[in-house]
Amino acid sequence: MLMSVQPRSWPEPTPEVVAAVRATYRRRTPPLPVTVRDRLGELFPDAEFAAAFGVRGRPGWSPGRLALVTVLQMAQNLTDRQAADAVRDKISWKYALGLGLDDEGFDSSVLSEFRTRVVEHGLEARVLDLLLDALKGEGLVGAGGKARTDSTHVISAVRDLNRLELAGESVRACVEALAVAAPDWLPTVIDIAGWGRRYGARVDTWRLPTSQTKRAELVAASGVDALTLLRAVGDVAAPPWLRELPAVHVLRRVLVQNYMITTGVQGREVIRAREADTDGLPPGRTRLSSPYDLDTRWAAKGDDLFWNGYKVHITETCEGPDPDAPADAPADVSPEDRSDGEDLVGERPNIIVGVATTDATVPDTRMTDPVHAALAQRGLLPAEHFLDSGYPSAALVVASLHRWGVTLVTPLLADTSRQAKAGAGYDRAGFTIDFDTQTATCPQGNTSIRWNRVTQRGTDAITIKFAARTCRDCPVREQCTRSVSPKFGRQLTVPPREVHQAQLAARATQDTRDWQARYALRAGVEGTIRQAVAVTGTRRARYRGLPKTRLEHVYSAVALNLIRLDAYWNGHPLDRTRTSHLSRLEHTLAA
């Protein structure tokens, strides 16, 4: 159904709602929706979302206010139905949205339609942009300063499927789609009763045989059914538009990725499941793991984390105490008791300034530059960026400083050579590299004979070789190289000059106490991720697909920012960690 929006300013809260709110919270801190409306006013104007709606058709609900509803929904971790009920039932929400007491709100399905339109028009990040623009005017965010980034895993909103379940569910999803799209055509190509017995209910391992032989037969049968269905759809007698159904495309990909079609000894066509060792499987970044979410991927981290889903990267400011804030501002004063413009604040809140969501297979190191690009677009590039060792490389440290003017404060991975790992022998740091003369000198004073510029896995590098005769006669050969052939001498691989120097400098300083004390600032982002998980349920996707999961994470970030701002404006500093009552008592007695 067509829906139109005529951008209008949000109405002011009605007098009866204002009176009720002021009376209810006269001696208490007002709730988040009230503070947001009082402090930020019309935070998300309708005009910012007008492109996602038409100019003709049934008048729709204000998209700007739907954006605020979605943010408040994330802040309280509500379902769509609960959020729609809150708009009708909660006086604080009516105050924030400018609704009268008799306003009936909207049906919960409106929120789903709103998200779909926002994603389709690429406006999912607009709410964060608008909030950050407002905070720039208050001096709470800006370019320069310090920021920190970390990532966490996100479990998709679909069921985890093994390869047997994936094959069967893909066939079932396709049959279901064809039964709706072409109910007259489908019975002409398959036995509806027989297929109904196999695919009438979802394919679930718990209802399948435990015998490995029978399971293998089921996998093969699903492959045969998939091929039968695809050939029927592709036949010239079938309606051509059936080939464009999304479920048909999914089934085709699942078939190609998980099956082999070969010819048997008698010349018959044989379809069988792919074997990873002999036939190979597609890389994880392209392999489908569900017919219902085409963006979710399996990934692993360390030895104990294996998940199907996404990864979210959160970047926040970390400036520390506000030097201009009063040192002993009271925390229990109501807004009515403040003088005009007076903020009872102590420490500036850390504001989330960037959120990036990817599928689970994208490594952290590939996100350093995109994170900086997004911050640059918002005009919020930090001077120093604190990261863990998963994000940078020596080349990225140099490139970030040159391209963005950002200093990466991060530990670089140690030398992985045999000598460095063993802590014995001559690793690369024991050689003197002279880029001007293009030579290297070993610890025994011998000079290299070759210097070649190469490209290894897309990265510029330099290979340095020493003469075989020199190394063969060296008295400490065993400490330098494991090559047993007298034809080869020691070989080094080093990055270009600037990267090499940055690498040496970083490794020399990152073990010092001063550097470690400075780097301790990065640890605070772990608390932000903990807050995101506890408050908004960030580690479990609400929606299917990367675009809507990205929208969820952006709106969750805005919700966390508003929660922090609410505490800041009301003089309630956020706890750095969860503290037990016993620990609080201990701190009180110690003071």
Q: What Cα–Cα distance (Å) separates residue 30 from each residue in 18, 39, 170, 251, 350?
A: 12, 12, 50, 53, 22
In this prediction, residue 477 carries a pLDDT of: 79
How is the chain split among helix, strand and coil, in percent rounded to 5?
45, 15, 40
Q: Could you tell me if 222 and 198 are in contact, meaning their C-beta atoms sit under 8 angstroms apart?
A: no
Pairwise pLDDT comparison (358 vs 56), residue with the higher score:
358
What global pTM score does this model have? 0.86
pLDDT at 421 over 90: no
**DSSP run (H or E) holding 15:** helix 15-24
pLDDT average, residue stretch 335-347: 42
Residue 525 to residue 64: CA distance in whole angstroms: 30
Q: What Cα–Cα distance (Å) separates residue 128 from each residue in 132, 371, 450, 509, 536?
A: 6, 15, 54, 37, 16
At 347, the pLDDT band (50, 70, 90 cuts) reads confident
In this prediction, residue 334 carries a pLDDT of: 40
In this prediction, residue 511 carries a pLDDT of: 83
In this prediction, residue 575 carries a pLDDT of: 59
Residue 581 to residue 589: CA distance in whole angstroms: 12
Q: Token match 């009866």: residue? A: 16
Residue range 169-205, pLDDT digits in tens: 999 999 999 999 999 999 999 999 999 998 988 888 7
Q: Could you tell me if 538 and 74 are in contact, meaning their C-beta atoms sit under 8 angstroms apart?
A: no
Q: Could you tell me if 255 and 319 are in contact, meaning their C-beta atoms sit under 8 angstroms apart?
A: no
In this prediction, residue 473 carries a pLDDT of: 78
Residue 436 to residue 451: CA distance in whole angstroms: 11
Give residues with Cβ within 8 angstroms of 55, minimum separation 6.
4, 6
In this prediction, residue 580 carries a pLDDT of: 78
pLDDT at 326 over 80: no
Pairwise pLDDT comparison (361 vs 340), residue with the higher score:
361
Average pLDDT, the chain: 87
pLDDT at 141 over 70: yes
Q: What Cα–Cα distance (Å) separates residue 280 from each residue in 258, 287, 327, 457?
A: 9, 12, 64, 22
Q: Token match 């066939």: residue? A: 171
pLDDT at 537 over 80: yes
pLDDT average, residue stretch 407-436: 77
Q: Give the single-character DSSP code of 138.
A: T
Q: Could you tell me if 314 and 557 are in contact, meaning their C-beta atoms sit under 8 angstroms apart?
A: yes
Residue 409 to residue 503: CA distance in whole angstroms: 13
Provide the angle, in degrees to the nearest 10, between the axes of the packed helices 546-569 and 524-536: 110
Pairwise pLDDT comparison (578 vs 376), residue with the higher score:
376
Q: Token match 């699942």: residue? A: 254
In this prediction, residue 448 carries a pLDDT of: 87
Look up residue 266 and give its amino acid.
Answer: Q
Give residues with Cβ within 8 angstroms of 414, minimum separation 6.
420, 507
Among the residue ranges 262-266, 301-305, 318-322, 534-538, the one predicted with the least confidence is: 318-322
Q: Dihedrals φ, ψ of 532, to 5°?
A: -60, -40
pLDDT at 534 over 70: yes
Among the residue ranges 17-21, 293-297, 438-442, the one predicted with the least confidence is: 438-442
At 509, the pLDDT band (50, 70, 90 cuts) reads confident
Domains identified in the chain and CATH numbers: 3-123 (no CATH), 141-158+300-412+510-591 (3.30.420.10), 163-273 (no CATH), 418-496 (no CATH)
Provide the angle, in degrees to the nearest 10, between the axes of the packed helices 163-181 and 212-234: 30
Residue whose C-alpha is closest to residue 450's, from 439, 460, 461: 439
Residue whose C-alpha is closest to residue 69's, from 561, 558, 566: 558
Residue whose C-alpha is closest to residue 157's, from 294, 312, 304: 294
In this prediction, residue 336 carries a pLDDT of: 39
Q: What Cα–Cα distance (Å) separates residue 139 from each residue in 32, 309, 367?
A: 21, 37, 28
Length of the chain in terms of residues written = 591
Residue range 61-106, pLDDT digits in tens: 889 999 999 999 999 999 999 999 999 999 999 999 999 999 999 9
Residue whose C-alpha is closest to residue 46's, from 70, 57, 62, 33: 62
Residue range 520-531, pLDDT digits in tens: 999 999 999 999
pLDDT at 343 over 90: no
Residue range 461-499, pLDDT digits in tens: 889 898 888 887 788 877 787 765 667 788 888 888 888
Residue 494 to residue 433: CA distance in whole angstroms: 9
pLDDT average, residue stretch 243-262: 94
Residue whose C-alpha is closest to residue 415's, from 428, 432, 405, 401: 428
